[in-house]
Amino acid sequence: MEAKKRITELFGIEYPIVQGGMIWCSGWELASAVSNAGGLGLIGSGSMYPEVLRDHIRKCKQATDKPFGVNVPLLYPDIEQHLQILVDEGVKIVFTSAGNPAKYTGWLKERGMTVVHVVANTKFAKKCVDAGVDAIVAEGFEAGGHNGREETTTMCLIPMIVDCVTVPVIAAGGIGCGRTMAAAMCLGAAGVQVGSRFAASTESSAHVHFKAQILAAVEGSTELTLKEITPVRLLKNPFYEAVMAAYEAGADAEALKSLLGRGRAKRGMFEGDMVEGELEIGQISARLDRMETAAEIVEDMMRGYKAIAENSSFFQY
Amino acid sequence: MEAKKRITELFGIEYPIVQGGMIWCSGWELASAVSNAGGLGLIGSGSMYPEVLRDHIRKCKQATDKPFGVNVPLLYPDIEQHLQILVDEGVKIVFTSAGNPAKYTGWLKERGMTVVHVVANTKFAKKCVDAGVDAIVAEGFEAGGHNGREETTTMCLIPMIVDCVTVPVIAAGGIGCGRTMAAAMCLGAAGVQVGSRFAASTESSAHVHFKAQILAAVEGSTELTLKEITPVRLLKNPFYEAVMAAYEAGADAEALKSLLGRGRAKRGMFEGDMVEGELEIGQISARLDRMETAAEIVEDMMRGYKAIAENSSFFQY
């Protein structure tokens, strides 16, 4: 168990905090800021053309001498080009998601990379171990963006994944402060991945309109929807209302795909169109109310975490 | 904060574990077994006629000299008769749910009772405090049975509720072992309420067919549905499939109510009709695989809890 818990050693970082590699939010500025603060920053390559990704990796290397990584959705059309860029640029840590871990894990491991795959159920967690990953991100229902169909929450999912794998498990979904981080560790996680709070940070490349909407979100402001295509947790905005109207009118998967179209997430999250854009964010947005720097977030999380972990009277009842 | 954490003192119990007062599962046998094991047992009055409730309270008093309580859904038609029975029988602890806490909390407090109300959002949590409750149960999306419309998970909900109230918060939803209990305490809870694991226990009055289905459940076996009437988390069985077919056919709230009819939960949970019955259970059913006594459950939870709470190296990273 203890051996499973050292993701700080696995990644060579100070704190067991990973910044989720999010489309349109996490370029080199956010990733390097998190890594410089002692966590693991991830460039989100899912919204980048190959040459844009190369540019972000190069800038990230200039901005930090600490370890950082890249998140790569395996369903991305230019996936092999992306992976070759990681090799060429000497990236040491890759988080893969949205696809079969069996396909590229061996190839990446042969090239000396530390490989982590993101899952939302035990079936894929076991596939990850079979594929030879170094760690797993287990993402609960409350997480933003694309998510599992079983709707298993972080509280239920993490112990199940921990109990069925031999590698460290990084908990994601609903985590963004020291208390939730300590809770995740109690569930057996070796560390946490934080998305939403970093999406709203100073260094996030998200449009300021989107950041403002994240900070204004309250309970019930997000919903996991579009399950007929790929389940995704969205902020409720006019585009979301259009999706609900389509459901009401009996839309099938094809009609929903057509409504979604292409570039909706960019339009909302990067270009700031709060009406027509698709705004991917987690439930924990309801708990966020001010913009902070990445370093402030890491420091605040560790302060809150230590207040629990170093206080033996905390668990008295 | 520390003062908020003593629900053991508030209820006069040994361990901060409350057994949820569930319809068709928690009569005097389960409630007294949990109380005798050091937790707080609750009789679930929502499925009882007034004289049945009186009988269960009397039998519970004979079966334990430890504190126990009664859960009362405030929307129950015979509600005032139920509450009068609690007074007449000298019940000291009442958990109210499914209704406005302002309506009866004062009346119950005047009669010397400790009053706890169940909520799923901060709006109702604040109403509870205004109404003068002694504690709050905050129930996340993963919980079985009736639930909130915002779908806020335990990981997100508990810190929000804790931060907006001055009374102890008991966490519910996805909790059924020492790890999840420790996680809930990290989130700021003063204790936990456990439903599903006790529903499948030896002393539960649930039908053995229902218990077997709970133990056979896997990831994705439950879903929160019927949001047009009252959101409820169910096991997916042929009745659930009929609900899905009704949605597919464009059923409105009236049609769904008509499909649900009356007595579905009794038929499934108590009479063992796994085809036509409504089977209310939490997501954590996926983690349960054998029937245990209430005492075994309480002991196992406390053993797991202490393994974390009393191990200062647990939170190293």
pLDDT at position B311 over 60: yes
Which residue's structure tokens are 């009929």?
B242
Size of interface A-B (CB pairs under 8 A): 165
**CATH code that applies to domain A2-205+285-302:** 3.20.20.70
Which residues of chain A make contact with B141, given a CB cutoff of 8 A?
Answer: 141-142, 153
Are A39 and A19 in contact, with CB atoms under 8 Å apart? yes
The residue of chain B with its CA nearest to that of A184 is B183
A275 pLDDT tier (thresholds 50, 70, 90):
very high
The reported pLDDT for the residue numbered B37 is: 98
Q: Is the pLDDT of residue A3 over 60?
A: no
| Lowest-confidence segment of A4-8, A159-163, A197-201, B289-293 by average pLDDT | A4-8
- Mind telling me how many Å the CA of B266 is from chain A's nearest CA? 27
Q: CA dist B226 to A74, A249, A252, B121, B256, Å?
A: 35, 19, 20, 19, 8
pLDDT digits (tens, 9 = 90+) for B249-291: 989 999 999 999 999 999 999 999 999 999 999 999 999 999 9
Domain with CATH 3.20.20.70 in chain A: 2-205+285-302
Say if CB B258 and CB B287 are below 8 A apart. Answer: no
Tell me the mean pLDDT in the region B199-210.
Answer: 98
The token pair that represents A33 in the structure block: 């800021």
Measured CA to CA, the distance from residue A294 to residue A66 in angstroms comes to: 15
Using pLDDT thresholds of 50, 70 and 90, give the confidence band for residue A313. confident
Give me the mean pLDDT over the B159-171 stretch: 97
6-35 of A, contacting B, C-beta below 8 A? 6-8, 15-16
Mean pLDDT of chain A, nearest integer: 96
Give the pLDDT score at B5: 60
Q: CB under 8 Å to A178, separation ≥6 — which residues?
A: A300, A301, A302, A303, A304, A305, A306, A307, A308
Between A1-10, A139-148, A305-314, B287-296, the lowest mean confidence (pLDDT) is in A1-10
Residues of chain B within CATH 3.20.20.70 domain(s) are: 3-205+287-308
The encoded tokens of residue A191 equal 């560390």
pLDDT tens digits, B57-109: 999 999 999 999 999 999 888 899 999 999 999 999 999 998 899 999 999 99
Which structure tokens are listed for A306? 């230590």
Separation of alpha carbons A10 and A168, rounded Å: 9
The CATH architecture that domain B3-205+287-308 belongs to is Alpha-Beta Barrel (3.20)
Give yes or no for residue A146 having a pLDDT over 80: yes
- Asked if B185 has any chain A CB less than 8 Å from its own CB, the reply is yes
pLDDT at A5: 60
pLDDT surpassing 70 at residue A1: no
pLDDT for B125-163, tens place per residue? 999 999 999 999 999 999 999 999 999 999 999 999 999
For residue B156, give the nearest of A151, A190, A287 by CB distance.
A287
* Dihedral over Cα of B41, B45, B48, B54: its sign: positive
Cα dist from B37 to A183, B17, B64, B176, B259, whole Å: 26, 10, 10, 15, 41
A138 pLDDT exceeds 60? yes
Which pLDDT score is estimated for B77? 83
Q: Could you tell me if B86 and B107 are in contact, meaning their C-beta atoms sit under 8 angstroms apart?
A: no
Across the range A296-307, mean pLDDT stands at: 98
- This model's pTM is above 0.90: yes
Sign of CA dihedral A40, A66, A291, A183: positive
- Residue numbers in B near A315 (CB within 8 A): 182, 185, 305, 308-310
pLDDT at A4: 59
A105 in helix, strand or coil?
helix
Minimum mean pLDDT range among A14-18, A78-82, A160-164, B183-187: A78-82
B185 to chain A: closest CA residue: A315
In chain A, alpha helices (H): 7-11, 28-36, 50-63, 79-88, 105-110, 122-131, 154-164, 178-186, 196-199, 208-216, 238-248, 253-260, 264-265, 294-309
**B254 Cβ contact partners less than 8 Å away, ≥ 6 residues apart:** none
Contact yes or no for B186/A179 (Cβ under 8 A): yes
Q: Residue A313 has which token pair?
A: 């009277």
Q: Is B39 on the interface with A (CB under 8 A)?
A: no
* Residue A23: exposure state from Cβ atoms within 10 A (0-12, 13-18, ≥19): buried
pLDDT digits (tens, 9 = 90+) for A28-77: 999 999 999 999 999 999 999 999 999 999 999 999 999 999 999 998 88
CB distance from B175 to chain A under 8 Å?
Answer: yes
pLDDT tens across B13-59, in order?
999 999 999 999 999 999 999 999 999 999 999 999 999 999 999 99
Instruction: Verify whether the Cβ–Cβ distance B219 to A154 is below 8 Å.
Output: no
